[in-house]
Homo-oligomer: A and B are copies of this chain.
Amino acid sequence: MENNKRYEAGIRAMEELFSQEVRNGMEGIKKVSPDFWDMIVSFGFGDLYSRESLSLSQREIITLTSLITQGAFEQLKVHLQAALNVGLTKEEIIELIIHCAGYVGFPKAVQAMGIAGEIFNKNE
């Protein structure tokens, strides 16, 4: 079935991006709304992250930038780790945040850099 393919592609993308522990945490949403969980997996990760034309590390550049710009700092933590998991270096992430300072202003960039520091420490 078509929908199963989308769901399965989403699960595979999530396995590349997130640790088992993070994926378990995300499943909390499944208890509140199984339908929403299905959308997150099938659409968010299956339809979007599984597409070609951009690599997973390019996709995380886009994701990090969008999260910083909208001030979504809870999600930023998870995706900073995902960015490292799919091959972005600390240096590239720091550079991304510095570039963002000119586009979103210093308050959000400073907050993002502080969170990046925490995530980098966990990876040492």
Chain B min CB distance to A75 (Å): 4
Copies of this protein, total = 6
**Contact indicator B113/A72 (Cβ below 8 Å):** no
Question: A103 to B98, alpha carbons, bound, how many Å?
Answer: 14
Q: Which residues of B contact A122 (CB under 8 A)?
A: none
**Contact indicator B65/A107 (Cβ below 8 Å):** no
Q: Is A2 an interface residue (CB 8 A)?
A: yes
With A71-B71, A120-B32: A54-B96 Cβ-Cβ less than 8 Å: yes
Q: Which 9 residue pairs across A and B have the least CB separation, nearest first?
A: A2-B2, A32-B117, A69-B69, A53-B95, A65-B65, A66-B103, A72-B107, A75-B107, A2-B3
